[in-house]
Amino acid sequence: MSFLSGLRGMIGGRPQLPEKWKLPETEDDVESLLKPDSGTQVIYKHSYNCAVCIFTKIKVEEVMEKLSEKAAFHFVDVVKNREVSGKIASETGVGHESPQVLVIKNGSVYWHASHSAIDKDQLEEAILI
């Protein structure tokens, strides 16, 4: 996604998400992501009202394009799906922030970062280890 597409998402309609994103919409969906046999899951929390989110989403999508065979990527719109975002925070023990990325390995938080600490290389490394 280009920078201008990201700006369009902030100024009026939301841009189309790439098909590789999974969209957890219920608390049951979150529980499935956190099962001990769930493999590697990447959860990205995003707010279309946040300028920082434009840049972090681009970073996460670059990693998704490269490593979608190694992990499932889940997009949570924190404004639209507050309950899902809250469930993730309560179940993982990682306080809610936006933007935020969590790497879950077999039901446990392996790595997480928020805001400007979201680093593409660190995210890749967390998925591959």
pTM as predicted: 0.88
pLDDT-based confidence at 10, cuts 50/70/90? very low
- Could you give the angle at which helices 3-10 and 51-67 cross, rounded to 10 degrees? 130
pLDDT of residue 13: 57
Which helix H or strand E contains 44, and what residues bound it? strand 40-46
pLDDT at residue 49 is higher than 80:
yes
Residues in the chain, how many?
Answer: 129
Report the candidate in 79, 80, 57 with the shortest Cα–Cα distance to residue 5.
57
pLDDT-based confidence at 2, cuts 50/70/90? very low
Delineate the domains of the chain, giving CATH numbers in brackets: 3-128 (3.40.30.10)
